[in-house]
Structure 1
Amino acid sequence: MSNDQSTEGKNSEQAPAWQPVQIQRPAQVSSSAGLTEEESTRVIEEFRAKIYPRSVTGIFARWRIILVLFTQVIFYGLPWLQWNDRQAVLFDLGARKFYIFGMVLWPQDVFYMAVILIISAYGLFLFTALAGRLFCGYACPQTVYTEIFMWIERKVEGDRVARIRLDEEPWSFRKFRIKATKHILWIAVAWWTGSTFIGYFAPIRELGSDLINFELGPWQWFWIIFYSLATWGNAGFLRESVCKYMCPYARFQSVMVDSDTFVVTYDKIRGEPRGGRSRKVDHHEMGLGDCIDCTVCVQVCPTGIDIRNGLQYMCIGCGACIDACDQIMDKMNYPKGLIRYTSENGMLEGLDNKQARKRLFKPRVYVYLTLLAFFIIAFLVSVAMRTPLRMDIMRDRGALGREVPGGLIENVYRIQLINMTEEPLDLEITAQGKDLENVHVRAGDSDSAVVKVAPFANEWVPLVIQVPLGEVKPGLYDLQLKAQTLESEELDLKAEEKTSFFVPN
């Protein structure tokens, strides 16, 4: 038996007799004394122990590669897309505008951001209820960048056994050269990742030019270095520790799964009792199950757990152990599926995946689907009905109403006009009141009531409204302000807001 298939100490202990699959939770903590000394020592040793995942091929490994490529093409490529001579996706915090292709979100549009977060949350709940930590295993940034860094590590240092031997041998020029090459490549990827991330918050084409010429501002330098170091540290060093000890999702997933949720499952009925044997013997006559106790499933696990001990909160559902076990089953001429994606009830009752999937759709899944559909439809309808022209009004508190030469009563306002289109707008401001006639509107310093607003811009305009004194009595009058594009404009847009007109005694 090869070194890769040797027993792995604590990870390869004989599993107890078969019992229903349950999520293993951290050791119970006493509210008065905390962890015992033995538990504390075990946790510290597990945290310090370095995991050397073995490379594996198979259907789930291919899906991980596809998802890594898919997510990174989007992440690295999206900031470079152009939309009408501007960056297609840009979260401009300085200008307080979020550009998302043809849509621009302003601070007043925080509702849309809240709905997007709600949709993401319900989507995560739905995926967890159906397939456990599906997101963790294939699309989580921590998993994706750890996979990239591990691929670089395997190319530079070799597979599992070679990496273990390299770490155990004393320092030499060869070891320094290999380690330095790995970290240089890691830092290059981390720097590219950090720079791209900042490119979502500052125009990336200008950022790239400034970066090459060392003309970045201090905050830009800070955030690029910060996110680069965070990527380097999380994906290169912390790796599985983030999933096991830092990620809150691992803790609350147990309340979102049940016995019909599809998770990575070891079939203890078929696999136990485990033990080594020759492929030529009939292991059933020896009283053995299909598991040959090779521990390859442990060696390929990125979090270092033994799935044969039951589903654990550290399992990210990547399916690496399934690929590894299927390969061993092929070599032993045993049926595949000793470790597989299925539900606890499906394994107990011997159901195939098609039958087990029918049990997935329970009331709570329909609730998640209904809520998710509701919020998606509400978001799309709201965006479709969203007016691209807005107007906000502020009264001049220092002069609510005053008499001016010419026998006129004058009120002063400040209005904010927001143009959410990609075209400049000429807007005419008009005012109407139920008990007010001959209302005269003046915008800015001119006698005109027409205001020019640039594309994706907002303009604060001083607005003066006058009414003949002889036509009104002292009091407060309702007033309707309307901003509308001129007839010569291609777009027919308007915005209306209510305010009041005050006539002093």
Structure 2
Amino acid sequence: MSLPEPNRIIMTTATKPKKIYFREQFGYFQSIRRKLSIALIFIFVLLPFVRYQSHAAFNIDVTAQKIHFFSITLYPQDLLIVGILFILAAFVLFYVTRLYGRVWCGYTCPQTIWMLIFSWVEKRIEGSHHHSKALDKAELSIEKVIKKGAKHGIWLLVAFLTACTFMSYFVPVDVLYSNLFNFDDYFLVQNWILFFTACTYINAGWVKDKMCLHMCPYARFQAVLFDKATKLVTYNAARGESRGLRKRNQIKPDGLGDCVDCNLCVDVCPVGIDIRNGLQYECINCGLCVDACDSVMGKFNYANGLIKYSSLVTSPNRWKQHLSYGAVTFITLLMLIFWGIYRNDFEIDVSRDRNALYRVNYSGEVENTYTIKLLNKSQQAKSFAISLPANSEFVLNDPSVINLPSGHSAIQVVSIVTNKRVGRKKIAIQITDLSNQKIETVYTQFYTPKQ
């Protein structure tokens, strides 16, 4: 077998069996991953139950086209903020990938978290990876049926609870769970729950690593984001080769490196690769092989780090990447701040009467008609006053106050008159939020006959 050059990253594709039976492993990096996974799962499960001012703190109302997030309600008109958030998330992901490779995949990706949850259930019922493999090869028996039935039953239960939790982001939890088994009025929601249950069960229980290998685009373009200074899970071939078996407490035989060829780094890999053959695109940088190798090195009284997170070089120009990614992230954050400062919690749309440019009333004044649409985007009832600037040469007929409950809209038709002949002129219409005296000015055109 040809060996990779020391510390060299080689993009190869491993030959993998149809099903991967990977070994359970504990260690420093797995402790970090488990704590992160538990924290993220708790946030995912508990967030729909958090209440804010008598409603769900976070809820996506598809029917009303609203997103509630604590005191903020987003409408389709606020789509810009969603785009900015995705841009920010993308740049942060690219930055982290440039520094530490696919740590998102290994530590926080939902596919990885749920795959490892399902694998944990499988090991509790079927035993170790060797027992699971033997059970799959065994003839059909009562024991096999019971174990397989229990495993898939718990998998389906976890998938069902996951689907219910996911749907609770779209349907308030009190409504969701009180009507879950109401087959007359809740058919659509039940179908979505069944759909997401099937997706979770198939992805985490059956597809598993195939999702990362063949369906996720991140695995394909990750190499574009790497450079020689990126810290990746790497095997130190210069120290480890030539590899060979040996006994504990035995002096290292001449000609052998530190690798004892125990294959534990392969046994614990959830995507079934051998990191000693160089970096493959399947590697999700989860650190399982690092913890496994360190545990073996400790038993043989060798130094840790035969497999570790390392980079090929220490780039002296690394600060340029920090500066570039930091600048882009900072600019995106500024965009979010400016959006929050200048965002109005009400939406205004003014349109002219399309049937006629103007009309002359009985008093000889020129009149233009406008349709004003108001949307209250706040979570409190508001009152709005329609007016013209104090120094305006135009007059608003019948000024009125519009009362709007939270999330409601209204249409008000107003007419503006003048006794002058100005041809076409730009005018201002003011909408005042009476709760905080905030004034929004909208500009439109006024038409009269030419003198």
Q: 1:246 — aligned with what?
A: 215
- Per the alignment, residue 309 of structure 1 pairs with 277
Partner of 2:411: 461
Alignment CA distance shift 1:406-1:219 (3 Å): farther
Residues 433 and 480 in structure 1, CA contact (< 8 A), matched pair in contact too: no
| 1:353 corresponds to | none
Aligned AA (2:411): V
* Partner SS state of residue 496, structure 1: strand
Separation (CA, whole Å) in 1 of partners of 2:368 and 2:335: 40
For residue 341 of structure 2, give the secondary structure of its aligned residue in structure 1.
helix
Q: Is the 8 A contact 2:45 2:165 kept in 1?
A: yes
- 1:36 corresponds in structure 2 to none
Instruction: Give 1:403's aligned residue.
Output: 360
The secondary structure found in structure 2 opposite 1:211 is: coil
C-alpha change, 1:286 and 1:222, in structure 2 (3 Å) is same
SS in 2 for 1:162: helix
Tell me if 1:391 matches 2:348: yes
Q: In 2, Cα distance between the equivalents of 1:371 and 1:100?
A: 25
Q: Displacement, 1:113? A: 0.8
Distance 1:360 1:310, change over 3 A: farther
* Structure 2 counterpart of 1:126: 95
Which residue number corresponds to residue 445 of structure 2? 500
1:111 aligns with 2:68: no
Query: 1:261: Cα distance to partner?
Result: 0.8
Counterpart of 1:24 in structure 2: which amino acid?
M
Quick check: 189-198 or 407-416, which moved more?
Answer: 407-416
Match of 1:367 among 324, 331, 346: 324
Counterpart secondary structure, 2:397: strand
1:414 to 1:460, Cα distance in 2 relative to 1, 3 A: farther
SS at match of 2:174: helix
Are the counterparts in 2 of residues 429 and 441 from structure 1 also a CA contact under 8 Å? Answer: no
3-state SS in 1 of match to 2:99: helix
Aligned with residue 142 of structure 2, among 167, 173, 189: 173
Ranges in structure 2 where 5+ consecutive residues have no aligned partner? none
* Alignment-derived partner of residue 433 in structure 2: 485
Between the aligned partners of 2:231 and 2:308, the Cα distance in structure 1 is 9
Cross-structure match for 1:293: 261
Contact 1:417 1:460 in 2 (8 A): yes
1:440 corresponds, among 396, 401, 420, to 396
1:473 maps to 2:427:
no
Shift of 1:474: 6.5
Q: Please, which of 12, 18, 31 is the counterpart of residue 5 of structure 2?
A: 18
For residue 314 of structure 1, report the CA deviation from its aligned partner.
Answer: 0.5
| Structure 2 counterpart SS, 1:390 | strand
**How far did 1:18 drift?**
3.0
AA aligned to 1:459 is S
Cα shift at 1:432:
4.3
Query: How far apart are the structure 1 equivalents of 2:308 and 2:343?
Result: 47
Aligned-partner SS, 1:278: coil
After superposition, the Cα gap between the structure-2 partners of 1:395 and 1:222, relative to the gap in structure 1 and judged at 3 Å, is: farther
> What do residues 341-368 of structure 1 show as CA deviations (whole Å, max 9, x unaligned)?
11123xxxxxxxxxx5x75834233211
- 1:366/1:208 CA distance change after superposition, 3 Å: same
Cα contact 1:478–1:498 (8 A) shared by 2: yes
Counterpart for residue 158 of structure 2: 189
Shift in Å, 1:496: 1.3
Determine if contact 1:435/1:477 at 8 Å carries over to the other structure.
no
Shift of 1:222: 2.8
Q: Distance in 2 between matches of 1:274 and 1:71?
A: 39
Deviates further, 373-382 or 63-72? 373-382
1:342 corresponds to which of 302, 310, 314: 310
Whole-angstrom CA distance in 1 between matches of 2:95 and 2:416: 58
Q: CA deviation at 1:475?
A: 2.5
Q: Structure 1: which 5+ runs fail to align? A: 1-13, 28-41, 346-355, 443-447
Q: How far has the Cα of 1:302 moved from its partner?
A: 0.2
Whole-angstrom CA distance in 2 between matches of 1:62 and 1:198: 30
Output the CA distance in 1 between the equivalents of 2:334 and 2:392.
42
Measured in 2, the distance between the counterparts of 1:23 and 1:82 equals 51
Residue 240 of structure 2 corresponds to residue 271 of structure 1: yes
Task: After TM superposition, give the deviation of residue 435 of structure 1 in Å.
Answer: 6.8
Aligned to 1:57: 26
The Cα of 1:211 is off from its aligned counterpart by 0.7
> Residue 308 of structure 1: CA displacement?
0.5
Look up the SS of the partner of 1:242 in the other structure. helix
How big is the shift at 1:15? 5.3
Distance 2:140 2:397 in 1: 82
| Structure 1 counterpart of 2:337, from 380, 388, 404 | 380
- Report what 2:47 is aligned to: 78
More divergent stretch after superposition (241-250 vs 373-382):
373-382
Q: What is the deviation of 1:466?
A: 3.6
% identity of equivalent residues: 36
User: Deviations for 1:97-125, whole angstroms, at most 9, x for unmatched residues?
Assistant: 11111112221111111110110010011
| Whole-Å separation in 2 of the counterparts to 1:23 and 1:492 | 64
- Taking structure 2 as the reference length, what is the TM-score of the superposition? 0.94
